[in-house]
Amino acid sequence: MLSPHEFATLMLVYEAPDQLDMNRAELDALLERQLVMLEHAAPGRRRAYLTKKGRSILHALGADTGFRRSQEAAAERDGRHAAPVSLSDEAG
């Protein structure tokens, strides 16, 4: 079972991975559970991304829909259509 902080970190990896503090203790727990992985984005920089297992947890809990809704709302405000976002389209 994930702690509230681990779950929040999992959601942060999904919605805003570039804003994630890579020194968070919760990130280590998610790595151990193989819910996230790290990739080397640039020299000396790492970026977290969800694994298939991590995405399935968010999907099962319905936590993967808020980001899509916010993207659709922004697109509607701008008078354009939002491109569909699918968890299966993401790396991992």
Phi/psi of residue 20, nearest 5 degrees:
-80, 130
- Element at 44 (helix H, strand E): none
| Ordered structural domains, the chain, with CATH | 4-89 (1.10.10)
pTM assigned to the model: 0.66
Contact 36, 18 (CB under 8 A): no
Contact 55, 64 (CB under 8 A): yes
Query: Tens of pLDDT along 14-38?
Result: 998 888 888 889 999 999 999 999 9
Cβ burial, residue 19 (10 Å; 0-12/13-18/19+)? exposed
- pLDDT of the residue at 26: 94
